[in-house]
A and B are shown apart, each in its own frame.
Chain A
């Protein structure tokens, strides 16, 4: 059906040579794992939204298809000697999709808006390095004291609380994208509707159908509009991955942003090099309840970690779509060294097993008193497969594993509220490629993520020192030492680092997997 229709269109285009191929202009059907909850960058929180918003809006800085930071709405910037002040020069030809110029005031308005408590932004926290941002978001200071000022229509100054080596990357985040002041004020809540939404990115919104598609077309006012090859793109949610693969196979989707990991071998057989794996900044781990005996005993945590065959989990069960993790930080971070590792990668597995047995025996567990572990996770096929496999590995050690799985909301609320768990599945996808974004997870008081409420004064001190350190290599050393503590104490047992996995149709060009998971449509090309 589809093929025939396309042939017909191609034939029609060939006949009607007077009219250029506007009607036959291909639409890029882009599989995007979930429906966006919002197209308001300040309320947005998901990766799926980030992909759409990156097409719709240009931040001061943005990414190219290699994941490199490139100028967006700003054409040049300088950072002061003390690392506390950033000056941005905006592009003079920057335009909103209604033709109005993009000004420094737009960014002042936008950054104030996201930090305003009344906006109810989920991830305002990302911008807390900006002067007074945290206080404003907590309602302690008025928005106009935010460290963002416009010096003329095309100049912007951002002042920071303290030097932040990853600040440029933060400014590429979806939370730092600008919104069009006049339409926000005019339409209020509904300014994101098609017809109302005015954006400054390479694309503009034409239609949204909840559960159906988010349709974009090239923004003719964008300064780089001429270089945008794909003129129309539909973002389609793919909640059921198996069905998404079938839709891809039928040619109804040109790319998929996620794949069923346990079927990767079959996908490789069917689609060959269309299966594209890439690096990613994610960690899958088990949080251990360090407040609860016997898990408060470091030896028990170490024993549990030592016998996990991470190579099997990553290469076997997940078909190589994950990599074994012996550290919290994945490789490929900026401002860091090769991360330290917990025991297990080198040496003989049989030695690790004996060591684990010895540690458990020291902690008072053995054949006549087996350790019982309750393993909590939020239900998904992959989480279940991994959980069962880890339970098998622990069984070799004489550990009895029981599973409790719940829907995601229950799982995370339970952990956040200090639930009485033994070990719980956790995962973390970084917002920026800096070790701080992984190591803060285990800081004292970060109760939502540090679910076991692990607290180590030396660890906290090292992180605090690192935050104040301006020398990047000394900072890296401090963070390295902190991570080494965490990997010795194992409040989180790292399991695997994520990799990005995608299906890319042969007719789609320009996709390069990268750690930022950035594939802006403007840099892609689609054969007709």
Chain B
């Protein structure tokens, strides 16, 4: 098992390197640079800035020094937030996005899996039928529609909850963003769980267990172990995307997370900030996929042997 983990970690290094290379050069190919403003800079100012940030050097040399800095754990200075380093920006924003994403993940998983189980156990029942449409509905609502609706309903009309701000993570400030983030995933997870569990419940071993007269609860628990495999596999990438924030949720709710850095960084040509966030996401995706695989192995003994 340890060897398996180590091998996966070793494998991830070339993957990360490829990600860094691809995004570095992709980013530099995009038209415009970090200093192309609505008010064009004087040529002298532009020249000075390019020199200060080393953008006047050949691209390969820049890539080399980026990699060298990366090896030291330095993600470089941000081009658009000039007072801060990329590491600092991520360190400030990640906890916010992490708390929101973590809570959303928790809510989505418990609700989604719960509903999915209820639907699978009684196929064609009320829960199942409601879930069919309900899951489809939550999957179909763009978050930039859900967020303003929630603000208007709970913030402006009912005045139950604050509309915006982080307020050091005060619970009342978390409710609306977490709902917005979790909603589509509730549907996705419920659907996945339902399909998967229903399939397992029909398999020969489960039927045999039932016919042998084992108590239904035990049968279900046994079936669940297998049924959760695809759910856990789905949770890996889902967790990575939830934990790294969402630009829509952060701009509408005024939250200081890191989700907006992908979009802002790309649109501002903030090369280093984009590289930093891409690396973070890539690292998380790899790590959480590994975690998901390990969880799957734990759930399914056959996979454990294979590993």
Instruction: Indicate if the CB atoms of A408 and B163 lie closer than 8 Å.
Output: no
Instruction: Indicate if the CB atoms of B250 and A211 lie closer than 8 Å.
Output: yes
Contact of A1 among B39, B159, B250, B269 (CB under 8 A): B159
Instruction: Indicate if the CB atoms of A249 and B254 lie closer than 8 Å.
Output: no
Interface segment, one of A89-97, A188-196, A319-327, A340-348: A188-196
Interface segment, one of B27-35, B207-215, B232-240, B289-297: B27-35
- B163 surroundings in chain A (CB, below 8 A): 243, 246-247, 250, 252
Asked whether any CB of chain B lies closer than 8 Å to the CB of A272, the reply is no
Instruction: Indicate if the CB atoms of B48 and A249 lie closer than 8 Å.
Output: no
Instruction: Indicate if the CB atoms of B267 and A1 lie closer than 8 Å.
Output: no
Instruction: Indicate if the CB atoms of B164 and A243 lie closer than 8 Å.
Output: yes
- A125 surroundings in chain B (CB, below 8 A): 41-42, 44-45
- A55 surroundings in chain B (CB, below 8 A): none
Asked whether any CB of chain A lies closer than 8 Å to the CB of B280, the reply is no
Q: Is the interface of B mostly helix, strand, loop or mixed?
A: loop
Asked whether any CB of chain B lies closer than 8 Å to the CB of A117, the reply is yes
Interface string of A32-55 (1 = CB under 8 A from B): 000101111001010000000000
In B213-254, the 8 Å CB interface with A consists of 250-254
Contact of A412 among B36, B93, B255 (CB under 8 A): B36
Instruction: Indicate if the CB atoms of A211 and B155 lie closer than 8 Å.
Output: no
Instruction: Indicate if the CB atoms of A243 and B35 lie closer than 8 Å.
Output: no
Which of B35, B39, B172, B260 neighbours the largest number of chain A CB atoms within 10 Å of its CB?
A: B39
The count of residues in chain A whose C-beta lies closer than 8 Å to any C-beta of chain B is 58
Distance A211 CA – B89 CA, assembled complex (angstroms): 10
Interface string of A231-264 (1 = CB under 8 A from B): 0000011111011001101101000000000000
Distance A410 CA – B253 CA, assembled complex (angstroms): 28
A487 CB to nearest chain B CB (Å)? 22
In A46-96, the 8 Å CB interface with B consists of none
Instruction: Indicate if the CB atoms of B252 and A412 lie closer than 8 Å.
Output: no
Residue in chain A with minimal CB distance to B33? A413
Instruction: Indicate if the CB atoms of A243 and B32 lie closer than 8 Å.
Output: no
Instruction: Indicate if the CB atoms of B51 and A117 lie closer than 8 Å.
Output: yes
Residue in chain B with minimal CB distance to A118? B52
B151 CB to nearest chain A CB (Å)? 5
Distance A35 CA – B34 CA, assembled complex (angstroms): 16
Distance A2 CA – B154 CA, assembled complex (angstroms): 13
Instruction: Indicate if the CB atoms of B45 and A121 lie closer than 8 Å.
Output: yes
Asked whether any CB of chain B lies closer than 8 Å to the CB of A414, the reply is yes
Instruction: Indicate if the CB atoms of A407 and B166 lie closer than 8 Å.
Output: no
Distance A1 CA – B156 CA, assembled complex (angstroms): 11
Distance A390 CA – B256 CA, assembled complex (angstroms): 38
B238 CB to nearest chain A CB (Å)? 24
Distance A527 CA – B52 CA, assembled complex (angstroms): 46
- B82 surroundings in chain A (CB, below 8 A): 37-38, 40, 43
Contact of B83 among A192, A240, A413 (CB under 8 A): A192
Distance A180 CA – B38 CA, assembled complex (angstroms): 30
Instruction: Indicate if the CB atoms of B257 and A250 lie closer than 8 Å.
Output: no
- A242 surroundings in chain B (CB, below 8 A): 148
Instruction: Indicate if the CB atoms of A448 and B40 lie closer than 8 Å.
Output: yes
Asked whether any CB of chain A lies closer than 8 Å to the CB of B49, the reply is yes
Instruction: Indicate if the CB atoms of A250 and B252 lie closer than 8 Å.
Output: no
Q: A120-B53, A242-B148, A243-B148 are in contact. Are A409 and B256 (CB under 8 A)?
A: no
Distance A247 CA – B34 CA, assembled complex (angstroms): 31
In A424-460, the 8 Å CB interface with B consists of 427-429, 447-449
Distance A45 CA – B269 CA, assembled complex (angstroms): 16
- A509 surroundings in chain B (CB, below 8 A): none
Which of B40, B162, B250 neighbours the largest number of chain A CB atoms within 10 Å of its CB?
A: B40
Instruction: Indicate if the CB atoms of A137 and B45 lie closer than 8 Å.
Output: yes
Distance A521 CA – B246 CA, assembled complex (angstroms): 33
Distance A415 CA – B156 CA, assembled complex (angstroms): 43
Nearest 4 CB-CB pairings of A with B = A448-B40, A413-B32, A409-B32, A212-B256
A selection of 25 A-B contacts at a CB cut-off of 8 Å is A2-B162, A3-B159, A37-B81, A117-B47, A120-B45, A120-B53, A121-B48, A138-B44, A192-B83, A193-B83, A209-B256, A210-B256, A212-B254, A242-B148, A243-B148, A243-B151, A246-B151, A246-B152, A250-B155, A250-B163, A252-B163, A409-B268, A410-B30, A412-B38, A412-B40
